[in-house]
Chains A and B, each alone.
Chain A
């Protein structure tokens, strides 16, 4: 995938991550996209260097009484790419997930 070009869906996911929704199911909930779209997109973004992933520590997970989870965050390149994408897709700002009310699961 060429750097500097993101599809709308991918840009949305990137935007969602930048807004602090940082793991898979969270992003699925917020964007309403199917998990079969979100996960491959995360992998692509990570491969392109826009996202970095890290596993949370056993301790944090244990403290919250759940299995260890994998978090994604934007890299510097990711932030640049997102800025470029927002330029191109004006709609992105308006659909920014900060304005979406999370569905109560």
Chain B
């Protein structure tokens, strides 16, 4: 390193020397260094070694770079390039062999690339549009016994921001939806309420105007400004360059647009693009009590920060824990037993990401096995081809090539094959990724799959890496085997000692078959799981129900206007031809989990945790949930009459195990409520779990402005989207309806993990079956060719064609059956690992195991019969001619 400072020209030479072909390097460096050193010493002698001459020396040494570049052509004579050229010639010489190998490898590598692409998109790719996303950290509260990262309160955020020294900035935001009215159209958009530092911490820049700054986030919230996304700017405002300073209406208030954020920034949640940002303090206008900003109990902010350079996540964790402990001492009422938690990366829900990570093990294991089979297959092909190259290799060794050199040559060839397979795999992978994408729903729980699944350097690096590993994996065993021939025997021209090699090939085929059985069993189990899950009684009829969301609060409806609107809408829709019934509820039956509270028997302190749904009168009719006992809500159950509730069977059983709950009173939400009916259980978000407790209340008694419309139709429900839009439009042309989708879609989406696994394992299983079949076929075809003379003799001596067929089929099926048996044992050992992913079927299910083995044996029979028949069709005269 000292050379760099005192004699930079020599340092430069040694650096540039790295790219000079190694066999020329020493000479090259000597030549350059001799001149430079001599010149330098002359200058020193003359006492002229000033900065000007030093600069001249440095300038001259840069010429070495062009010299070194010119020498690159000499690399063509390097060993490695020779190996490569020879390898390529060998591959081109036998195109059929090359094609089969590349295709096999492409299947294996492509499947891996596809799975990795999806994992990359969902788990690895960092937040787009921000600078240096690697230093961003998300922070939140950690409650005991909870795995999730919870939101923080505003006073906590302010304290953390003031006290920490490990972050260059700390910011917070709260996701929120806006009803945007501009240029005569209202629509619902996702946005964020942000603190003044938000954009600075993220490192986002504007393309027009400016972004929200600390000055905008004033205490009184009177500053009604907003920043919009490039996406929205393109879509709604036609790239209007004078957008800055113009106004739009958000939730009924006029905001000034101060800037447009640069693409591709779209908020801090990957998969949920957001289009509008307004200062956090704007909340003070809609919520003047200020409870949001003053109470430590109110957790509603998502915090994130940027680590200072040189500070590790661990250091930051330590500091924030200290601050949290201090807050806990100062505010024991609200902050007791809540730790602070820091997680690297921003944009993904910590919980969901870890669940997803768990989920990816099975697909990765699946594609891993497929790739292994592909490797085994190609290794088998290489061994088979070795017989034709035997003489070449022996000659090389005989005239003095070292064994290492031969192995290197063979490995270069297999690496070339692997990389060609990798390139083809990348193309196949891109196509498979599209297929995988099509299996995913729009969203799953809170996660939207609206993310970029494209190729990036991670996918590319992964594919190159696995191709290289693959190349070594399938190349090494054949290379070692081939480079150890019996020299004298080969040179004398005697027949190759095929039996020994045949043993290795047979072992390869058996392992291939065994691996396929494992995948087929997994596929069978996953398909049965999906079948079982789809057959679950969910407690309501999801077919022919259309759902849509309506949010009256954002549109500034008062309670009275809202009630009138809701009643009119339901009346109009019910009167529409083709509509059986219409109802409103605050949540889908696949409960989004937020409406959870405790209920008590009146006069009894025992608390029962339950979900709740607030529904309009026809809800049970629209959903086809029978009210089993008591009565349904009626028009008379409104604000003037006593509060009533309907319990689900499960809740009823929990609260009154041995008596009828009808007429009993419960305390819920601080009110005394009479139980008037029992409704049949309906499944919640997880269809595989038993239904959770549910308490239904009447929308007429408990007004809610934000509701989900449930419309039971006589015809397929997707046709009614327009009807709903039209009827809503007649009542209020500015009211946006959103999330319009058949209920069945939501139900289907909940089974996404099961569906994905079923599809993936089936695809992998079939792929494995195909590859194993090719392997078995290849081995037998090769054996047949090898034993043609023997067949000739046998047939000449009176063997029937059937005997010949039997001979080869028996040989092949012995391998297939032992593979199937071994695979069965392996499956029994491995399948319990995926127990958690199964439903209604045992991991050791004997039927699945037997079916998988039968499928394999059937495929093996075909793979054996074709070459066997060819052997039997051989003309003994021609066959014998080879002797």
Given A35-B64, A38-B63, A43 and B33 contact (CB-CB distance below 8 Å) = no
Measured in the bound complex, the distance between the Cα atoms of B67 and A24 in whole Å is: 12
Q: Does A76 contact B (CB under 8 A)?
A: no
Is the CB of B396 closer than 8 A to any CB of chain A? no
Residue of A nearest to B66 (CB): A36
Is A67 a contact partner of B34 (Cβ separation < 8 A)?
Answer: yes
**Minimal Cβ-Cβ distance residue in A for B24:** A43
Q: Is the CB of B34 within 8 A of A66?
A: yes
Would you call A70 and B70 a contact (CB within 8 A)? no
In the complex, A105→B30 CA distance in Å? 22
Interface residues of A in 35-81 (CB under 8 A from B): 35-40, 43-44, 55, 61, 65-70
Do A25 and B60 touch across chains, with their CB atoms under 8 A apart? Answer: yes
> Is the Cβ of B60 less than 8 Å from the Cβ of A69?
no
The answer for the CA separation of A6 and B61 in the assembled complex, in Å, is: 25
Taken together as a complex, chains A and B put the C-alpha atoms of A36 and B41 apart, in Å, by 22
Q: Which chain B residues lie closer than 8 Å to A67 at the CB level?
A: 30, 33-34, 37-38
Q: CB distance B67 to A40 under 8 Å?
A: yes
Q: How far is the CA of A37 from the CA of B69 in the complex (A)?
A: 12
* Complex interface: chain A residues within 8 A of B41 (CB): 65-66
Chain A residues whose C-beta falls within 8 Å of the C-beta of B64 in the assembled complex:
35-36, 39
With known contacts A43-B70, A67-B33, A67-B37, A105–B43 Cβ distance under 8 A: yes
Among B32, B33, B34, B71, max chain A CB count under 10 A is at B34
A-B contact count (CB 8 A): 66
Determine the chain A residues whose CB is within 8 A of the CB of B37 once the complex forms. 66-67
A72 to B66, CA, bound (A): 19
Q: Would you call A24 and B31 a contact (CB within 8 A)?
A: yes
Q: When chains A and B are docked, how far (Å) is the Cα of A25 from the Cα of B33?
A: 11
Does A36 lie within 8 Å of B65, measured CB to CB?
yes
A30 CB within 8 Å of chain B? no
The complex places the Cα of A67 from the Cα of B35 at a distance, in Å, of: 8
Question: Which of chain B's residues has its CB closest to A61's CB?
Answer: B34
Measuring CB to CB, which residues of chain A are less than 8 angstroms from any residue of chain B?
A: 23-25, 28, 34-40, 43-44, 55, 61, 65-70, 105
Determine whether B62 belongs to the interface, using a CB cutoff of 8 Å to chain A: yes
Across the interface, do B63 and A23 meet the contact criterion of CB distance under 8 Å?
Answer: no
Residue on A with the closest CB to B71? A43
Is A68 in contact with B30, judged by CB distance below 8 angstroms? yes
**B21-55 contact mask (Cβ, 8 Å, vs A): 1 or 0:** 00000010011111101110111000000000000
Give bound CA distance, A65 to B39, whole Å: 12
B60 touches A40 (CB 8 A): no
Q: How far is the CA of A44 from the CA of B42 in the complex (A)?
A: 29
Candidates A36, A55, A68, A70; contact of B63 at CB < 8 Å: A36
Evaluate whether A35 and B63 lie within 8 angstroms (CB atoms) in the complex, with A105-B39, A105-B43 already known.
Answer: yes
Q: Could you jot down 27 A-B contacts, CB within 8 Å?
A: A23-B35, A24-B31, A24-B32, A25-B38, A25-B39, A25-B60, A35-B67, A36-B62, A36-B66, A37-B63, A37-B66, A39-B64, A43-B67, A43-B71, A61-B34, A66-B34, A66-B38, A66-B41, A67-B33, A67-B38, A68-B30, A68-B34, A69-B31, A69-B34, A69-B35, A70-B30, A105-B39
**A39 in contact with B30 (CB, 8 Å):** no
List B contacts of A34 (CB < 8 A). 59-60, 63
Output the nearest chain A residue to B61 by Cβ-Cβ distance: A35
Q: Is the CB of A70 within 8 A of B31?
A: yes
> A23 contacts which chain B residues (CB < 8 A)?
35
- Residue positions of B touching A, CB distance < 8 A: 27, 30-35, 37-39, 41-43, 59-67, 69-71
How far does the Cβ of A46 sit from chain B's closest Cβ, in whole Å? 12
Q: Is the CB of B42 within 8 A of A70?
A: no
Residues of A within 8 A of B67 (CB): 35-36, 39-40, 43
Shortest distance in angstroms between B38's beta carbon and chain A's nearest beta carbon? 4
CA distance A38 to B31 in the complex (A): 13
Alpha-carbon distance A61/B35, docked complex (angstroms): 12
B35 adjacent to A25 (CB under 8 Å):
yes
Complex CA gap A67/B42 in Å reads 12
- Residues in B with CB closer than 8 Å to A39 are 63-64, 66-67, 70
The list of the 5 closest CB pairs from A to B, nearest first, reads A35-B63, A36-B63, A36-B66, A39-B67, A67-B34
Nearest A residue to B65 via CB reads A36
Instruction: Give the most central of A35, A38, A66, A70: most B CB within 10 Å.
Output: A35
CB distance from A22 to the nearest CB of B (A): 12
Q: CB < 8 Å: which of B34, B60, B71 contacts A70?
A: B34
Cα distance A79–B65 when bound, in Å? 29
- Would you give the shortest CB distance from B587 to chain A, in whole angstroms? 73
Residues of chain B within 8 A of A40, CB atoms compared: 66-67, 69-70
CA distance A59 to B523 in the complex (A): 78
Chain A residue with Cβ nearest B63: A35
Q: How far is the CB of B881 from chain A (nearest CB, A)?
A: 55
CA separation between A65 and B34, bound complex, in Å?
A: 11
Nearest-neighbour CB distance to chain A for B55, whole angstroms, equals: 14
For A38, what are the chain B residues with a Cβ–Cβ distance below 8 Å?
A: 63
Please name the residue on chain B nearest to A35 by beta carbon: B63
Query: Among the interface residues A24, A28, A34, A69, which one has the most CB atoms of the partner chain B within 10 A?
Result: A24
Q: Which residues of B contact A55 (CB under 8 A)?
A: 30
Chain A residue numbers with a CB within 8 Å of B27 are: 70
A60 to chain B, nearest CB (A): 12
Residue in B closest to A53 when the chains form the complex, CB atoms: B31
Q: With contacts A43-B70, A43-B71, A66-B41 known, is A24 near B35, CB below 8 A?
A: yes
Q: Nearest chain B CB to A12's CB is how many angstroms away?
A: 16
User: Which residues of A are found within 8 Å of B71, using beta-carbon distances?
Assistant: 43
Known: A28-B63, A39-B67. 11 other contacts (CB 8 A): A24-B32, A25-B35, A34-B63, A35-B64, A36-B63, A55-B30, A66-B38, A67-B34, A70-B34, A105-B39, A105-B42
Q: What residue in chain A is nearest B30 (Cβ atoms)?
A: A68
- Evaluate contact between A69 and B38: CB separation under 8 angstroms: yes
Chain B residues lying within 8 Å of A43, measured Cβ to Cβ, are 67, 70-71
Whether A35 lies near B60 (C-beta < 8 A) is yes
Inter-chain CA distance A36–B42, complex, in Å, is: 22
CB distance from A59 to the nearest CB of B (A): 15
User: What's the nearest-Cβ distance from chain B to residue A84, in Å?
Assistant: 24
Q: Which A residues lie within 8 Å of B35 (CB)?
A: 23-25, 69
Question: Hey, which chain A residues are within 8 Å of B60, CB to CB?
Answer: 25, 28, 34-35
Closest to B31 in A: A70
- For residue A66, which residues in chain B have a CB less than 8 angstroms away from its CB? 34, 37-38, 41
Which residues of chain B come closer than 8 Å to A44, judged between CB atoms? 70
In the complex, what distance in Å separates the CA atom of A105 from the CA atom of B61?
16
Assembled-state Cα–Cα distance A36/B67 (Å): 6
A71 to B240, CA, bound (A): 69
Contacts of B38 in A (CB 8 A): 25, 66-67, 69
Smallest beta-carbon distance A45→chain B, Å: 12
Which of chain B's residues has its CB closest to A25's CB? B35
Residue on B nearest A56 in the bound complex, by CB: B34
Chain B: minimal CB distance from A82 (Å): 22
Q: Which residues of A contact B61 (CB under 8 A)?
A: 35
Whole-angstrom CA separation of A38 from B70 in the bound complex: 12
Bound Cα distance from A35 to B63, whole angstroms? 5
Q: Report how far A68 CA is from B31 CA in the complex, Å.
A: 8
Q: Whole-angstrom distance from the CB of A2 to the nearest CB of chain B?
A: 16
In angstroms, Cα B37 to Cα A37, docked, is 20
- Residues of A contacting B62 in the complex (Cβ-Cβ under 8 angstroms): 35-36
**Chain B residues within an 8 Å CB radius of A25:** 35, 38-39, 60
Chain A residue at minimal CB-CB distance from B43: A105
Q: How far is the CA of A105 from the CA of B36 in the complex (A)?
A: 13
Q: Give the Cβ gap from B628 to chain A, nearest Cβ, in Å.
A: 91
How far, in angstroms, from A66 to B71 measured CA to CA in the complex? 26
Minimal Cβ-Cβ distance residue in B for A64: B38
Contacts of B43 in A (CB 8 A): 105
Alpha-carbon gap, A42 to B495, bound state (A): 55
A70 to B35, CA, bound (A): 9
Instruction: Name the residue of chain A whose CB is nearest to the CB of B69.
Output: A40
Q: Which residues of A sit under 8 angstroms from B39, Cβ to Cβ? A: 25, 105
A105–B35 CA distance with the chains assembled, in angstroms: 13
Chain A nearest Cβ from B762, distance in angstroms: 60
Return A20 CB to nearest CB of chain B, in Å: 17
Q: State in angstroms the CA–CA spacing of A69 and B35 once bound together.
A: 7
